[in-house]
Amino acid sequence: MLDLEIVPERSLGCEAWEFVLGMHFSQAVSIIQSQVGTIRGVQVLYSDQNPLSVDLVINMPQDGIRLIFDPVAQRLKIIEIYNMKLVKLRYSGMCFNSPEITPSIEQVEHCFGATHPGLYDSQRHLFALNFRGLSFYFPVDSKFEPGYAHGLGSLQFPNGGSPVVSRTTIYYGSQHQLTRSASGGRCSAPLADLPLSCYKHQLHLRRCDVLRSPTATLGLRLHIYTEGVRSGEPASSRRRVVRFGDSCQAVSRALAAPARLYYKADDKMRIHRPTARRRPPPASDYFFNYFTLGLDVLFDARTHQVKKFVLHTNYPGHYNFNMYHRCEFELNVQPDKCESNALVESRGAVCITAYSKWESVSRALRVCERPVVLNRASSTNTTNPFGSTFCYGYQDMIFEVMSNNYIASITLYQPEGARPHYAVNSIA
Amino acid sequence: MSAESPRHARAGGPLTVPSQPPSDRSIIDAVSGFINDVTLSSSSTVDPKDVIQWARFETADINEPTPEGDIDNDVPPLLLILGYGSGVQVWLIPPTGEAQEVLSWRQGTVRVLRILPTPQHGDCFASKRPLIALCDSASPGPAFCSLSFISIRGGEQVKSIKFKNPILDVLANKRSVVVSFSERFAVFDAATLEDRLAITTCFPCPCPLGGNSPINPLTLGDRWLAYADKKLNPSKRSSGGCESEGVTSYTATVLHAAKSLSKGLRGLGESVAHSLAGGRSTSQSPSPPHADIQQPGVVTVLDIEGNEDDDSQDCEDPCDPIVAHFVAHSEAIIALKFDPSGMLLVTADRRGHDFHVFRINPHPCGPSLAAVHHLYILHRGDTTAKVQDIAISGDSRWTAISTLRGTTHVFAVSPYGGACGVRTHTQPRVVNRLSRFHRSAGLPIHGAPCAHSPVCEGMGAGAWFPNPRLPPYPQPNSSAPLAQLRPTHKLATHTITRTSSGRQRLSSLSEESGSAPLLARACFGVNGITGRAASVPLYLMAASGALLHLALHPRAARNVPKEKISDESPIELEVEAMAQWPLQRPPAAADLLAPLPPSNPLLQPLSCRRCADMCMSEEERWLSQVEIVTHAGPHRRLWMGPQFVFKTYNSTGSNSSLSEAEAVEVDTSAARGAARSNPVNMPGARPVVPVLVDSGSASSLEHSPSDSFRRKSLLAESGRAPSVCDVQLREDLAEAMKEDHGITGRFEAEPEELSSSSFSSASRASLDPPSSPTPSCSGDNLMHFPGDSSSSL
């Protein structure tokens, strides 16, 4: 049984690890994975069709804990303990919930002090006691309901038996509404900023603008933030530009050293090249993996210059889910079929973000090419349960689209032959 | 043989030298491994003016690396500059063809000659390119104190810069020209040739070349410049570096070094006259009394391009130009070299016993957050030898270090560190850090020391993404040279017609000392058309004036029995002499001076890089650009379990509250019954036939038992009866919810189940007529036929 410390408005955890509000999904997963011996049977709940409107949830049924993540930011917004019997809880070192100690209303008040009178939710028959960033819910038998009209004190429980906490939530902000907004499965709790303890010397991305000329991609402008030179310093944000043709030194100077280096193995897509160039090259191109930026940068093996960017959106239901953070890119594309129609031209560029749906994008751009079906499966013996994704090429971009119409990744490449060769000017 | 042999041909045209086959003798000897070379050359004394003083392999526009795959036979030629006792000679050597002299003159002593790469932006001398930078004794004023920029197209001097100190060397890339002096260097913009930056705090390096000319070790990457710094500045110090050395003097410099480094960095505008002039200038603030305490072995990596990009103008704090600052050796550094990617730095110290290989891991917030991984200690030997050149292959897997004894030591390294073995070095392409075996076994990336240390376990909770800037850093691997190459000729040899491609395997102790410095320069070629898979071409310039083309064939060490060869087995190098070019200048060769004739290869515009893609339709061109795998994923993805189970809400868009929604498990097992509703909803559905790409391995039938085993173990873990598990799980979930909620139509929605595609052999047969998708077939997800298309691929 887990023995955890509650910090209202902040965290739930023990000495070795803690779930902190504002923490990214992947970090919570890695904590759970590090506790593989004690936390088992974990469920990840998400909406396949509406991944942005329904909360992303990690449910730990054997520990009675549920972590609710904002589906857009993919960061922790509510920690919910929905089965008090499966976990031991402390506050400021004092245990208030364990197999021996029943979390009665008196116990809670003894441990946490006084607060405003509780609120009653007649629909759910729940009585909520709110502290700042912390709420306790007591189930109340409906026969006591009439008595509530006169406040908590008027509730009379037979035999001195007071109600027992059935659920605890930790959240950011002063008050948590149990009733959720009707927009569908998304809790309306304020989202904490990424806590400093979760930076871990990584770079994080606020936004990524794709720099484009009318028809070609030039590079990326990344708005990154990281902790300062001295640890504990508030986050400092910077804007960095990386372009096609940049060297490893330029990219690693702008975006720090990559988390990992990946040498491209045998390139399966080489079969689609012209015959003359299909032979495998003797050198292998390599990726700089920036997992926390949701970005991969591909370098040419010979020139050591950038030739491709891959931006990931990290939707649940994709093969690569939880490998990258979401890259919040913004891409303005000038449709290249607008000469015929002046109306389209006046409408201007099509804005594509990590949250765009492909049907609207393809309608605006009038992409009508045949897709490539990508059925990822690991080279080992497992298969991909999420089905295939579809890749569409448009200008110098490739959109990988999931079956729910969201964009899983964008590949920006430099068309071969478009590389700038500065020919030596000949006078003769 | 005699000097009259037609090895140098100048029939009105430029001097050319055909490649010669190495003598049979040397090939046989190369196999046996020990060579006593036979010198058939006459040992006539040579005019000291015709003795090669220095050599340099140059990278200019003409042999700039091209993107892979752009051109079929795209092995760039070599450009070799030979400095003689008087005059200079530039050779262009295609990989197998005739070496051609492209520039040559006999007057004056040339200290530095560089052919400058053409800058990409803002070139002020576009019509004059290509330019050479020349420092010789001919120019007026003190010797070697002025640098001339001369157009070899028109022959005119476009700019001349005078300094008060003798120039030691010039480095150039497409953005900058770096001029080094003793203890200082200056950076000029390549496009305008205007000064930009000067550093005056280089470590005063001892003079290894017979004491007459000091050196200032520098190396220039695409943006970074590494130099040996005078002292260690603790506030700028990066973590990592060479841990074993340099600790003793650390405390001595802690107190005094605080600000000297940033003071050394100045714009040249104010300081060129003073600091470069060499005198104690007023701009140099009076130094604290202990400022003279110097620490050898400190390396500073500087971003000399600064912040010209538009991105950093609104940055709150100015960007620190220092990328990394660390201790590399305990002795003075005399050679530095970036690898072609610019992320590795190879260093050599005064003694030359051990060379170090570092990987620079910068951080945008400055050098103190950066980390320097010490990857290798390359052990040359225990005698002192001065390094004169370091060469690194294009894929950063080989490094060749030449000493003044004339020996070139070849080491195997990996760009990511770790032991070098059969897996990493006997394949033509670079492989990843971890083999498939490693990943599937779940072995940690840094091997055993990390796995057992409590530090690593403590990190376990937070180390969710690898961060190379955080400890523990990899421990350096120690390695010995795989080959030691020494062309065995007397320095004064004049005619070198038949032999010269000898090779000697020396134990380092047998190197005789005290002899005159012997020239040796190495350069790795591009592995293009050589026959054997993993062979690496190595070009070696020997003191005799012969350029040797060697092929290094890595293979599993011979003392390991064949059946015991594994991925980690050690390798050895077989050296094969391929060709040689006697490039020594003949006594009476004519000059070939600027302005060069238009037919000169240096003036040729780059061959128009044709693109075979052009013949393809626009529509098809992007196909080959799709990236399937971009990273080394974990062996088990999160959704593969067993700790995690993925479930989807099936009531899409309903406004039922989250915790009450019904969830359906995403099934990762293969043998499920109902398949996902087929065909998959195709975005922007059109009745066209998609192109199928399948990144999976070939059909693996063995996955089924292991998969079912995994399910069982999952069930066993959770202590549940192995009944119909889906139903069980769903009920459990419902029960968990029931405890705290009222029942509000929980079971209304129809469960929709996701099925996985399987790789059973049946799935391969999905080319059968896709009439109507059969929901019961679990294998048909491999190929989707969107819409009602009835055509096949």
A13, two tokens: 């955890």
- Among A334, A353, A366, A363, which Cα is nearest to A410's? A353
Looking at the structure, tell me whether residues A260 and A346 fall in a common domain. Answer: yes
Looking at the structure, tell me whether residues A171 and A230 fall in a common domain. Answer: no
Does residue A337 surpass a pLDDT of 70? no
B91: closest CA of chain A, how far (Å): 20
Q: Are A174 and A192 in contact (CB under 8 A)?
A: no
Residue A402 lies in a domain: yes
Helix H or strand E segment including B197: strand B195-199
CA gap B27, B17 in Å, rounded? 22
Q: Do B127 and A33 lie within an 8 Å CB cutoff?
A: no
| pLDDT value at residue A186 | 65
Does residue A378 surpass a pLDDT of 60? no
Please say which residue of A112, A147, A177 terminates a domain.
A177
The answer for A 334-393 residues in CB contact with B (under 8 A) is: 358-359, 362-363, 367-388, 390-393
Residue A126 lies in a domain: yes
**What is the full DSSP assignment across B654-698?**
----GGGS-EEEBP--S--SSPPSSSPPPTT--S-PPEEEE-S-S
- Dihedral (C-alpha) A132, A136, A140, A145: value to the nearest 10 degrees? 10
- Among B113, B217, B117, B125, which Cα is nearest to B170's? B113
Chain B residues within 8 A of A373 when measuring between CB atoms: 690-693, 783-784
Residue A275 lies in a domain: yes
Chain B residues within 8 A of A123 when measuring between CB atoms: 742
CB neighbour list of residue B197: distance below 8 Å, 6 or more residues apart: B186, B187, B265, B266, B267, B268, B304, B306
Q: Do A185 and B303 lie within an 8 Å CB cutoff?
A: no
Does residue A287 surpass a pLDDT of 90? yes
- Among A124, A4, A132, A22, which Cα is nearest to A67's? A22
> Where do we find the tokens 């902040």?
A10
The number of domains in chain A is 2
| pLDDT value at residue A144 | 61
Residue A425 lies in a domain: no
Looking at the structure, tell me whether residues A58 and A136 fall in a common domain. Answer: yes
Looking at the structure, tell me whether residues A160 and A229 fall in a common domain. Answer: no
Looking at the structure, tell me whether residues A278 and A383 fall in a common domain. Answer: yes
Looking at the structure, tell me whether residues A252 and A146 fall in a common domain. Answer: no
| pLDDT value at residue A279 | 60
What mean pLDDT do residues A5-13 have?
A: 92
- Which residues pair with residue B479 across a beta bridge? B378
Chain A residues within 8 A of B626 when measuring between CB atoms: 269, 372, 374, 391, 398, 411
Please say which residue of A142, A177, A212 terminates a domain.
A177
Q: Do B223 and A239 lie within an 8 Å CB cutoff?
A: no
CA gap B714, B752 in Å, rounded? 22
Separation of CA B171 from chain center: 19
- CATH number for A131: 2.60.460
- ipTM of this predicted complex? 0.88
Looking at the structure, tell me whether residues A228 and A110 fall in a common domain. Answer: no
Does residue A349 surpass a pLDDT of 60? yes
Tell whether the torsion through CA atoms of B729, B734, B735 and B737 is positive or negative.
Answer: positive
Does residue A412 surpass a pLDDT of 90? yes
Q: Do A263 and B430 lie within an 8 Å CB cutoff?
A: yes
How many helices and strands in chain B, by DSSP H and E? 12, 35
| pLDDT value at residue A81 | 93
**What is the full DSSP assignment across A354-419?**
TT-BHHHHHHHHT--PPPEEEE---SSS---TT--EEEEEETTEEEEE-TTSBEEEEEEE--TT-S
CA gap B86, B518 in Å, rounded? 18
Residue A194 lies in a domain: no
CA gap B315, A254 in Å, rounded? 13
**What is the full DSSP assignment across B394-444?**
TTSSEEEEEETBS-EEEEE--TT-S---HHHHSSSSPPPSS-HHHHHHT--
pTM: 0.80
Looking at the structure, tell me whether residues A167 and A42 fall in a common domain. Answer: yes
Residue A191 lies in a domain: no
| Collapsed DSSP state (helix, strand, coil) of residue B779 | coil
Q: Which of A33, A269, A403 sits opposite B643 (nearest CB)?
A: A33
Among A164, A221, A249, most B C-beta atoms within 10 A, so best to mutate, is A249
Helix H or strand E segment including A68: strand A65-69
Residue type, B278: G
Residue A346 lies in a domain: yes
Q: Do B696 and A274 lie within an 8 Å CB cutoff?
A: no
CA gap B490, B45 in Å, rounded? 11
Looking at the structure, tell me whether residues A76 and A212 fall in a common domain. Answer: no
Q: Do B627 and A124 lie within an 8 Å CB cutoff?
A: no
CA gap B663, B378 in Å, rounded? 58
B69, two tokens: 């795959």
Chain B residues within 8 A of A369 when measuring between CB atoms: 619
Does residue A120 surpass a pLDDT of 90? no
- Among B775, B757, B768, which Cα is nearest to B790's? B768
Q: How far is CA A249 from CA B310, B342, B357, B785, in A?
A: 18, 6, 17, 45
Looking at the structure, tell me whether residues A163 and A217 fall in a common domain. Answer: no
Q: What's the mean pLDDT when you consider all of chain B?
A: 68
Chain B residues within 8 A of A247 when measuring between CB atoms: 221-223, 341-342
- Among B333, B355, B354, which Cα is nearest to B344's? B355
Looking at the structure, tell me whether residues A400 and A272 fall in a common domain. Answer: yes
Q: Which of A259, A308, A370 sits opposite B691 (nearest CB)?
A: A370
A157–chain B Cβ distance below 8 A for any pair: no
Structural domain harbouring A289: 199-413
Q: Are B296 and B333 in contact (CB under 8 A)?
A: yes
Chain A residues within 8 A of B644 when measuring between CB atoms: 29, 32, 42-44
Looking at the structure, tell me whether residues A208 and A164 fall in a common domain. Answer: no
Give the residue, B547 or A154, on which the prediction is more confident: B547
Residue A422 lies in a domain: no
Chain A residues within 8 A of B693 when measuring between CB atoms: 268-269, 372-375, 391
Strand runs (DSSP E) across B544-619, as ranges? Answer: 546-556, 571-582
Please say which residue of A123, A146, A177 terminates a domain.
A177
CA gap B419, A236 in Å, rounded? 38
- Among A152, A8, A26, which Cα is nearest to A81's? A8
Q: With a cut of 50, which residues of chain B have pLDDT below it? A: 1-7, 10-11, 24-44, 245-290, 310-316, 443-462, 489-514, 530-531, 608-616, 652-662, 669-729, 732-793
pLDDT band for position A163 (cuts 50, 70, 90): confident
Tens digit of each residue's pLDDT (9 = 90 or more) over B257-274: 333 343 444 333 333 333
